[in-house]
Structure 1
Amino acid sequence: MQALRIGCAGWLCALLLAVVPAPAGAADTGGAEAPGMSMVTFNLHHDREDWPARRRVILRELQALQPDAIALQEVIQKPRVRNQAAWLARRLGYDYQFVSTDPPGSAKRYGNALLTRRPVLARNEHLLAPLGDYRTVAHLRIAIDAHAVNVYATHLNERSDADGSRIRAEQVADLLRFIAATADGAPVVIAGDFNALVDAGDLSELRNHYGDSFGSVHVNTAQAPVSTLNRHYFDAPRRIDHVFFQQDQLLAREAKLLFDQPYAEGRWASDHYGVWTRLQFAPSPGSPAATTP
């Protein structure tokens, strides 16, 4: 699958045309707060365990949060199950990008998705190396008021052995090449299920370039060792769902877990918890905000 790019020749022109007021119902961040964006990543656990009930719980939380962008993993469509990202996007009033290695028109398709309530300036998709692992990355460049931001969604190899570590390192290297080819100078946010701790060697190249939003917000706090694997399903706690951000362009201000409580007795939104984070645009050098102590 070749990377495919749709958008105007210059994202700045598209950004100027796309700057529109936030949709009705969007969260009011207050006039005094520096501009920024919010991002959610969530592994849907495809259609297991009463998807019709789970999707209503997920929809209510996302409607309340109104994040600017949402990265979804384990998204499925098949007979009698509408594409899960399409279902959520329609009810949220969001645009979406679904990426799968299954060809369009297949009875069953499985992959990742990005949803956004913001204008889309460009979109891309890519099949990550090694090709036999069938892993993808989705990309949207979106307009956040007067800023363009690149958001990427992915899901890396799940194996916990040495082969899994090697494959994830190869996938990270390919992901970074894809970002370099598509970011076009705008800030970058990367979200997904990485199947690795944030300080794992598999992700070292990624961490060399991008910050960990949850870890940045909760460094040296009681929240630092939390798990994004649902303890109802997994014995060992591990934070493997991450939102990475470009540290010279963005600042992590808030981060929290989502769907970390059952919505009914013994019923959960997924086998993973979601992660929500709020990012601010970093002050430009020489601006009053950058020089104020």
Structure 2
Amino acid sequence: MRVRGGKCARGVVRMMLGCAVGAALLLPGGGMAADLRSGAAVAATTGASPGMTREAGMSMVTFNLHHDREDWPERRKTILAELQRLQPDAIALQEVIQKRNVRNQAEWLANRLGYSYLFVSTDPAGAGKRYGNALLTRRPVLARGQHLLQPLGDYRTVGHLRIEVDGRPINVYATHLNERSDELGIQTRRAQVEDLLRFISSTSAGAPVVIAGDFNAMVDAGDLSELRSHYGDSYGSVHVNNDLSGVSTLNRHYFKAPSRIDHIFFQQDELLAREAKILFDQPDAGGRWASDHYGVWTRLQFAPDTAAEQRQGAAAGH
């Protein structure tokens, strides 16, 4: 959504700009093992549910929660029911909020799904209100991290989990880029993409990469070109033969023009996009929408190891 992110007091944030983003990785029951990482308390956890995908790979959802607007206690029922049905391996959430009388939204969902979660915010731990991004997973967590994206004054973050899927590691990243539609917004998003790619390069450890979030830009926008040069658009890859001009992830009930700005990008030499669809694009029985955004779901498969297949074929020929 094109709204101001990281709504914390500027004075507090300026004190934090030289530090890492505050984050927490927690079990659904609320337990947390403290681990000081660049000044941020990060909790570690593992634990997985049985595999749900039909082929070796993973499924993922990205969704902008629209924080606690529009009757969150009712909206969350629809969101939870769909996520329980899908059982994605990982979930990226944007506009996650916690404040007085509103439990952290990622924590609430993780608790009911039986997932662990990572919440990343520029608001310091212990603040009365915290706002940010989150990653949820039902898979074992191998590594985690967080980063405050350049330019620092825009208060944008990226969260990172390396998870184990079918015995193999996959990196998942969640972010939410600048919302402005003018030239300053374009320049800011371009700088954020460049910093995001640097962070991925320094943390992915050679494992496949998936990047999800609200990018506030169409997939073919110039400010995302550097990202697209490295990673594929899962929805576009699956629906490559379709006219996507009318596809939107901004809720058409709130926004007049279609705009697909929520994406799940994947490393094309390591993964294949097999399925992708839009979520939460219909209101509930009472006419209530899950958010002012729709969600995106995709299923990714590990790319075949062609070198190994060639070796096996040669061995079989003898």
- Normalised by the length of structure 2, the TM-score is 0.82
Q: Are 2:284 and 1:241 aligned? A: no
Q: SS state of the match for residue 259, structure 2?
A: coil
Q: Are 2:20 and 1:2 aligned? A: yes
CA distance in 1, matches of 2:170, 2:21: 19
How many Å apart are 1:23 and its aligned residue?
1.9
Residue number among 250, 254, 261 corresponding to 1:229 in the alignment: 250
Aligned to 1:15: none
Q: Are 2:229 and 1:208 aligned? A: yes
Q: Are 2:131 and 1:105 aligned? A: no
Q: SS state of the match for residue 286, structure 1?
A: helix
Alignment of 1:267-286 (within 5 A): 267-286=288-307
Aligned to 1:23: 49
Residue number among 248, 253, 260 corresponding to 2:274 in the alignment: 253
User: What code does the residue aligned with 2:214 have?
Assistant: D
Q: SS state of the match for residue 191, structure 2?
A: helix
Aligned to 1:12: none
Identity, in percent, stands at 72
User: What code does the residue aligned with 2:20 have?
Assistant: Q
Question: 2:22, 2:121 within 8 Å by CA — same for their partners in 1?
Answer: no
Stretches of structure 2 lacking an aligned partner (at least 5 in a row)? 1-18, 24-34, 37-45, 314-318
Aligned to 1:125: 146
CA RMSD of aligned residues (A): 2.1
Aligned to 1:66: 87
Question: 1:124, 1:138 within 8 Å by CA — same for their partners in 2?
Answer: yes
Q: SS state of the match for residue 267, structure 1?
A: coil
CA distance in 2, matches of 1:137, 1:81: 23
Q: Cα gap change, 1:140/1:289 in structure 2, threshold over 3 Å: closer, same or farther? A: farther
Question: 2:218, 2:259 within 8 Å by CA — same for their partners in 1?
Answer: yes
CA distance in 1, matches of 2:246, 2:71: 30
Question: 1:25-57, CA deviations, whole angstroms, 9 ceiling, x for partnerless residues?
Answer: x63x44xxx301000000000000110001111
Q: SS state of the match for residue 60, structure 1?
A: helix
Aligned to 2:4: none
CA distance in 1, matches of 2:290, 2:297: 15
How many Å apart are 1:236 and its aligned residue?
1.1
Q: Cα gap change, 1:222/1:146 in structure 2, threshold over 3 Å: closer, same or farther? A: same
CA distance in 1, matches of 2:312, 2:104: 48
CA distance in 1, matches of 2:158, 2:49: 27
Question: 2:218, 2:260 within 8 Å by CA — same for their partners in 1?
Answer: yes
Question: 2:49, 2:138 within 8 Å by CA — same for their partners in 1?
Answer: yes
Q: SS state of the match for residue 123, structure 2?
A: coil
- Normalised by the length of structure 1, the TM-score is 0.89
Q: Cα gap change, 1:290/1:104 in structure 2, threshold over 3 Å: closer, same or farther? A: farther
Question: 1:4, 1:124 within 8 Å by CA — same for their partners in 2?
Answer: no
Q: Are 2:205 and 1:179 aligned? A: no
Q: Cα gap change, 1:271/1:289 in structure 2, threshold over 3 Å: closer, same or farther? A: farther
Question: 1:284, 1:290 within 8 Å by CA — same for their partners in 2?
Answer: no
How many Å apart are 1:224 and its aligned residue?
6.0
Aligned to 2:160: 139
Question: 1:32-83, CA deviations, whole angstroms, 9 ceiling, x for partnerless residues?
Answer: xx30100000000000011000111100000000000000000000000000
